[in-house]
A and B are shown apart, each in its own frame.
Chain A
């Protein structure tokens, strides 16, 4: 198994280096220098050149890349001239809120999708299964902001039960406690994630149900409830580990859309406003950190699956 682990670490490192070079080059091509933002739109070419020279934006791309990565490893994510703060400070303000929104949605999605998949497999082709499958189908054919708008219309405008704007508080504890305002954004993100998970959970649960050990357990006389609890749940959860890893990029994107729709001051909304302002340091740091997060997430999911599933370990 350690050979697999070493190979996997090697692959991840190669991909990490590759993705960082690719993203840096791409963003360098798109926004070569923040001179226009720092100096204003009427800056003369001479002052732009002086700014570039002073801040190292006229060096060859490789040199800029290396010094940027050096800074990144030491926690220096660059400086945002548009916001007049370091990028790291901007991220730090919003990190807790975004982690809360994405984390709680992911957790709820797992808690709903897993039993739902098992239920769909056990009650296959009954009314319950068909309703769940149809609902999931409609939900994942829908852009997430449309679902959000429908939820806002129903729960915040037509029947004013919940708030249509997410909590604007700066304290994470107030945000966590404010279910009135946070329920709709969390619900939007959760439902979309559940819809995407349930496709795979349903088919993997059906596969597990057809396995021999389930038949043996039933033949032994084990009550159905225990068959499900002891055998089915464990084996049906295995694909969930891979799914979470695969779904991380979508989670980041969902974060962006949901925060923009509900005006939630998180990392996603920061990306959106920085894009409008062409605040290149923030965009570069965001996409790089996002890509690194995705690679690491997939790596952890692979390792977790190897730990959880002995069949892979011993293969």
Chain B
């Protein structure tokens, strides 16, 4: 062959396969998962409901001003009507305003607790899965111990003793919810660490922490995202239970469970607006998160199956 000359090839046609036939757009993993997700109407509805609540709770008070600090007994127990679209509660506070404020607490605690749980769980799971051996056994026994802790009782005791604030409730709820993500991440890590790119990284001398940070955890994100969604739903329910029993946020703060427990005493008087709007808000928020979680799980599983 003459030097400096290459054999000329026909220009590469990226729209036809060599054996003939169309080549579609590249389907990368994430895009495929997103397409599957969007196809699920319930999931889209879930995202819509969740966004509605975020806007309602955090931007609503900017538009709708309700006085939730000054007790106003003249308006106490007003049924829904002029001035109070959803009525007034036992202290004269506007129920719609209370819904917004309680929703802020619920969403804040929900997301923060889920964040705490997934952080602890992912670390424990990754370390256990990567290290193996005695470290793995010890960590999994610790997970078993925490799984046997009666969740609601311990959370109530801690909330009663250390007072309830958004921070303390999030830490306590998240601190006892990390076991399931730990197990899930460990399972993923056990699979991933046998893959070629991990072996290659190890051969190149990558230290364990970098391995976890750069390779193992990013590839477990699917499992973690599904779990986080369900964690938020469970945390919001847990806050509702704690608030209902009277150990949630107190004046000047409030949460949804607290509102219901105040309203229970007036059921026989027929003051339905103290209970049902709050309950429906809790159910809708948790349902939306469950829709999203189920759809995420389906779409990510499909992606894994098609690989």
Contacts and interface: CB of A to CB of B under 8 A. Distances in A.
A253 B150 contact: yes
A271 B287 contact: no
A126 interface: no
B239 to A, nearest CB: 10
Contacts of A137: 287, 290
B241 interface: yes
Nearest to A17: B145
Interface in A6-42: 11, 14-15, 18-19, 22-23, 26-27, 30-31
Q: How large is the interface on B (under 10, 10 to 19, 20 to 34, 35 or more residues)?
A: 35 or more
Interface in B236-294: 237, 240-241, 244-247, 257, 260, 264, 267-268, 272, 275, 279, 282-283, 286-287, 290
B154 A142 contact: no
B156 interface: yes
Contacts, number: 110
A247 interface: no
B148 A291 contact: yes
B214 interface: no
Main SS of chain A's interface residues?
Answer: helix
A290 B148 CA distance: 9
A4 interface: no
Contact of B287 (A27, A141, A153, A157): A141
A200 interface: no
A278 B247 CA distance: 13
Interface residues of A, number: 44
A141 B268 CA distance: 26
A146 to B, nearest CB: 4
Interface of B: 141-142, 144-146, 148-154, 156-158, 160-161, 233, 237, 240-241, 244-247, 257, 260, 264, 267-268, 272, 275, 279, 282-283, 286-287, 290
Interface of A: 11, 14-15, 18-19, 22-23, 26-27, 30-31, 137-138, 140-143, 145-146, 149-150, 152-153, 157, 249, 252-253, 256-257, 260-261, 271-272, 275-276, 278, 283, 286-287, 290-291, 294-295, 298
